[in-house]
Amino acid sequence: MKNESIKVLQKKKTAILELWMQNQLAEEGLREDLMSNDDLRVQSEELLDALLANLSDENLSNAQSSHFDTVLDILAGISASRAKQGFSPRETGAYVFSLKDALIDTLQQEIKDPATVLAQTIRIGKLIDNFGIVTFETFIKGREEVILRQTDEITDISTPVIRVWDGVLALPIIGTLDSSRTQIVMENLLQEIVESGSSIAILDISGVPAVDSLVAQHLIKTVSATRLMGAECIISGIRPEIAQTVVHLGIDLSQIITKASLASALRTAFNMLQLEVVKKRRFEKENA
Amino acid sequence: MEKIPILRMGPFLLVTIQVDLYDRLAENLEADLVQMVSKTGAMGVLIDISAVSIIDSFMGRIIGNIASMSKIMDAETVVVGMQPAVAITLIELGLPLKGVQCALNVERGMDLLRAKIALNEGTPDDYFDTE
């Protein structure tokens, strides 16, 4: 026997869409700022079309059925784009679950036998719940992609090597130092040493939030690599908290020149290069 | 058999490694170099590895060994021209070459050697001008 309620649902598609849209528009958390109502309607209609076209008695209780591949694709697209647009998980979830209300309301109106309505309600409920889970999975994946892209961007922008003086490079490190970042920092620094022929590199860690033994090891590695290139490495920007942690962790930085501020590191660099910074003399004043 | 030339330049020995080193070649270099140091009484050894693009732990150790050997024979060793990738590899291998002086290029390396020897021996600067 062909399932009566599915037929009803397919026949009543326009009514369901209307109901669904009403539910969504009535929702307090409607985000008109992120998506216009017309776009929302197009999106919803596409999803409903795909769902009703593929719905049958066999797959009603099996969301993993291959019949739903198109539905799942559309859902994945919707939730990924919503993640990028900045919808909250609650809003995305509410979007999918409001479809359930519309479907069940329509069923209740059309079918008079309470037992059938109950049975179908439970099955539809399960199906939409499954869709909800899929939506969340893709939503989180979409968010993770955003995070990954941002991480890449941060890595790209946050490792500049600056020439502060002839033969003196400065490298301000901002953010946590992990092994992949250390690798990039090291490569950039060594490359720049070769290109500029610098003999002193200042590694400023005032932007590093915390130094643990791993970070310290990365720092020591960078310093050793710089030394192998024939340049001297000074670490500056040691904050009091960092000094405390380093000593408490028993990390030996005594082989490395460390300075509290970039200014004092630069002064040390000038000393090493036998340079002197002198105040400009005012001839007029002296002559007067 | 291939051999890496060891050039004498005043009080220094100059070794330019132009090929990728394999183990046997490196061992021979080590033996030849200490022989040369003792024969010529060189005060400094300059090893140019700017053409070396591949290095392994064995090579890193040999370079370290050469430096230590020259040191106890009273000759300073300076390694010059290390490529960034080689430096990173050595560090990742856990071979920071402690006790080896490094310089960016041959010119800087020479300056470093001269400065060190002048410091050690108290040699007057004009000693080098007569070369």
Q: Are both A214 and A252 inside the same structural domain? A: yes
- Per-residue pLDDT reduced to its tens digit, A103-124: 888 888 888 788 888 888 888 8
Q: Identify the residue with better confidence: A5 or A162.
A: A162
pLDDT at A202 over 90: yes
User: Is the ipTM reported for this complex over the cut 0.95?
Assistant: no
Q: Chain B closest CA to A199's CA: distance in Å?
A: 8
Instruction: For residue B12, give the H/E element and its range.
Output: strand B12-16
Residue A63 confidence class, pLDDT cut points 50, 70, 90 = low
Domain of A202, in residue numbers = 162-272
| Number of Cβ within a 10 Å radius of residue A108 | 14
Q: What is the CATH number of the domain that holds A50?
A: 1.10.490
Of A119, A152, A185, the domain-final residue: A152
The mean per-residue pLDDT over the stretch A16-26 comes to: 81
Residue A132 confidence class, pLDDT cut points 50, 70, 90 = confident
Note the pLDDT of residue B60.
85
Q: Are both A175 and A136 inside the same structural domain? A: no
3-state secondary structure of A95: helix
pLDDT at A80 over 70: yes
Beta sheet of B12-16, edge-to-edge order: B6-9, B12-16, B44-48, B76-80, B101-103
Q: Are both A198 and A114 inside the same structural domain? A: no
Residues of B whose CB is below 8 A from A272: none
In a domain, A288, yes or no: no
Number of compact structural domains in chain A: 2
Q: Identify the residue with better confidence: B58 or A32.
A: B58
Q: Which residues of chain B have pLDDT under 50?
A: 127, 129-131
Question: B-side interface with A, Cβ within 8 Å?
Answer: 79-80, 82-84, 86-88, 90-92, 96-97, 102-105, 108-109
Residues 134-163 of A with CB under 8 A from B: none
What distance in Å separates the CA atoms of residue B55 and residue B63, rounded to the nearest whole number? 11
What mean pLDDT value characterizes chain A?
Answer: 83
Lowest mean pLDDT among A49-58, A68-77, B25-34: A49-58
